């Protein structure tokens, strides 16, 4: 049985440096850098509610742009298949911490725990040379969570129970999707 280090070295050796300069990978890296800049140098009070909702929506939409561009330009690469989900998760988790004060604790910790579980599952999939395609439920769950985040931004000043119920329903569905991935991993063994 290979050690973790041996598996990592083997995986990294399959990556090509030139793939870093493919348009989809440049989009992915740019999104990460722009998000880091935003989260490090700005606070929530620097934005109006509508501007904050717009920024969050753009972060959510940009989550899929790199994949669409990769498929359209036929520039899918090994690097991109690793870089994209890592950057997506990193940007998403940074966004959650940046917006921490607007979320109810159950939502914040619920999403963070789910993300940790997905990270562990992703590591398992990566090191067992499995591939696991994104499900239509996964994409829909992510959209629901981004809507919930936007609603919590709006709800920060308005106490709407509807937005809280929407967030709870989205979080439950988000866990359902995680269980679906877990089932697919187990089924393939």
Indicate the domain borders of the chain: 1-98, 102-189
Contact in structure between 61 and 7 (CB atoms under 8 Å): no
The tokens describing 73, both together, are: 């330009």
What's the first-to-final CA gap in the chain, in angstroms?
A: 17
- Give CA separation, 33 vs 90, 97, 145, 151, 162, in Å: 11, 16, 22, 25, 34
How far apart are the C-alpha atoms of 67 and 139, rounded to whole Å?
A: 12
Task: Tell the residue number behind the tokens 């990566």, with chain if given.
Answer: 126
Distance of CA 7 to the CA centre of its chain: 24
Q: pTM above the 0.95 mark?
A: no
d(CA 164, CA 160): 7
Tens digit of each residue's pLDDT, the chain (189 residues): 566 555 555 555 556 778 888 899 999 899 899 999 999 999 989 999 999 999 999 888 887 888 889 889 998 887 887 788 888 888 999 999 999 999 999 999 999 999 888 888 777 777 775 666 767 788 888 889 999 999 999 887 657 888 889 999 999 999 999 888 888 877 765
């Amino acid at each position: 049985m290979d050690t973790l280090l041996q598996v990592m070295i083997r995986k990294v050796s399959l990556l090509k440096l030139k793939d870093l300069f493919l348009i989809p990978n440049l989009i992915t890296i740019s999104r990460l850098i722009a998000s880091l800049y935003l989260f490090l140098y700005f606070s929530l009070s620097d934005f109006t509610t509508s501007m904050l909702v717009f920024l969050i929506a753009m972060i959510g939409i940009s989550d899929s742009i790199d994949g669409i561009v990769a498929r359209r330009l036929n520039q899918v690469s090994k690097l991109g298949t690793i870089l994209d989900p890592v950057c997506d998760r990193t940007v998403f988790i940074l966004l959650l911490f940046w917006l921490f004060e607007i979320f109810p604790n159950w939502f914040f910790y619920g999403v963070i725990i789910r993300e940790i579980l997905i990270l562990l599952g992703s590591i398992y999939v990566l090191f067992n040379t499995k591939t696991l395609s994104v499900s239509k439920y996964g994409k829909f769950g992510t959209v629901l969570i981004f809507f919930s985040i936007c609603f919590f931004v709006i709800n920060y000043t308005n106490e709407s129970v509807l937005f809280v119920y929407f967030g709870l329903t989205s979080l439950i569905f988000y866990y359902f999707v995680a269980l679906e991935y877990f089932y697919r991993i187990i089924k393939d063994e």
